[in-house]
Structure 1
Amino acid sequence: MRTKDTTKTTRILDAAAAIILKKGAAAVSTVKVAKKVGIAQSNVYLYFKNKDALLQAVYQREQARIRESGDLSQLADRQVPVQQRLRLYLQSLYDFALAHPDSLTLIQQVKFLLGHDIVFAEAPGNLVVALLQEAIAAKVIKVVPVNIHMALVFGVLYAHALNVQQGHYAATTYDFETFYQLIWQGMAA
């Protein structure tokens, strides 16, 4: 049995991401991806069951990049007050958003296209989900579904990153504290 070439997997994911960034997630097809990589369409299916699996892999790769971008292990440290850990989460995502706005675009595009079919990062065992659930239980943040809190955080920071990327204003125009206060006012119990 042939083994999968990890560099080819990366090239396929990169090609799908490039299409998403240029034309949107709906424009992705295995034909377009194969053409961009320079392989036969059937080879894409050796790596991904179908287009949805390919899009989910792009989504999961970007989620992994966020997790790897900072020291998020502290999010589970119950010795640190929950509000301080929430601030660390927001700071980490803020920094990531400014450094990698395209990653957030990829996440947003795939989530929008696949909707409920995607295997979301909000699944049990996720450090952020656990932190938000703990904060809700402690009545530190509003008692609403965790994905509502995540949508608030993601939406605000994504809009800010896009504004900076598109030159609407400089990254230094607003600091983290401005967005922290805005988000915190929406989340706080």
Structure 2
Amino acid sequence: MRTRDANKEIVIKQKAIEMIVSQGFDGLSMHKLAKASGVSVATIYIYFKDRESLLQQLYKEESIKLADATLINFDPESHFDEGLKVQWLNRMNYCMENQISMTFMEQFKHSPMVDRSVMERRFIDAMSKFVHTAIAREELIPLPVEIYWSIAFGPLYQLVKFHISKTSMPGRPPFVFDDEKINLTLSLVIKALKP
């Protein structure tokens, strides 16, 4: 039996994410991945049972990285304005520093392959406590989670995408998500969510 090499596994994962981002899920075959990673197809199967298990593992690992980044200096009992700002800045910084990962997560999140059970319990518990505490303090209006998330984070992720892709609305110069625009957008989001 062949031994595992952590460096090869890292390269395989990185190349898989890059291929998915550049060519979509259909562009990822084990043969193409092996060639891009500089390993044999058999080597990939030492680390991953099949293509689907590779994809699920990638999504799980990238989700954990984003969750960990989001929770840096975050207190679920903080006041709503403060806690949302910490989350915004953490999420934004992670996405800006990990653009390929962010694009991969976005693609995977909207695919039928996504396994929603992979979210880390610590992250879910912290977010739930934060929202319920803010509602109890009357700092946040009670909303279905999908509406809350869309208002709280939808603008952030869309503006990050504009910034990363150096685009904007048609006929406009490339969007730059600077401190002034971050603060303006966050203040509008908080205003929309307050009672």
In the alignment, residue 117 of structure 1 is paired with which amino acid? D
The verdict on how the C-alpha distance between 1:4 and 1:75 changes in structure 2, with shifts beyond 3 A counting, is farther
Q: Percent identity?
A: 22
Provide the rounded CA distance (Å) in 2 between the counterparts of 1:11 and 1:47.
12
Unaligned runs of 5+ in 1: none
Query: By how many angstroms is 1:165 displaced?
Result: 2.0
Q: 2:110 aligns with which of 109, 112, 120?
A: 112
Q: Which amino acid aligns with 1:163?
A: F
Which deviations, in whole Å up to 9, do the C-alpha atoms of 1:12-56 show, x marking residues without a partner? 110111112212234322222122112222322221222222222
Larger radius of gyration: 2
Q: 2 CA distance for matches of 1:73 and 1:172?
A: 22
8 Å contact from structure 2 (residues 2, 46) kept in 1: no
Query: Aligned ranges for residues 1-189 of structure 1 at < 5 Å?
Result: 2-69=2-69, 72-76=72-76, 78=77, 80-114=78-112, 116-121=114-119, 124-126=121-123, 127-136=126-135, 138-167=137-166, 168-172=174-178, 174-189=180-195
- Aligned-CA RMSD value: 2.9
Distance 2:99 2:153 in 1: 11
| Worse-matched range after superposition: 54-63 or 8-17 | 54-63
Find the aligned partners of 1:48 and 1:140 in 2 and give their Cα distance.
Answer: 46
Q: Give the distance between the partners of 2:179 and 2:81, measured in 1 at CA.
A: 26
Q: In terms of mean alpha carbon deviation, does 67-76 or 103-112 score higher?
A: 67-76
CA distance in 2, matches of 1:26, 1:142: 42
Distance 1:175 1:95, change over 3 A: farther
Q: CA deviation at 1:2?
A: 4.9
Aligned-partner residue type, residue 155 of structure 2:
V
Secondary structure, in 3 states, of the residue corresponding to 2:110?
A: helix
The TM-score, its normalising length taken from structure 2, stands at: 0.76
| Residue identity opposite 1:140 in structure 2 | E
Cα 1:5–1:28 shift into 2, 3 Å: same
TM-score, normalised relative to structure 1: 0.78
Structure 2: which 5+ runs fail to align?
167-173
Correspondence for 2:171: none
Query: Is contact 1:30–1:44 with CA below 8 Å preserved after alignment?
Result: yes
> Shift of residue 98 of structure 1?
3.0
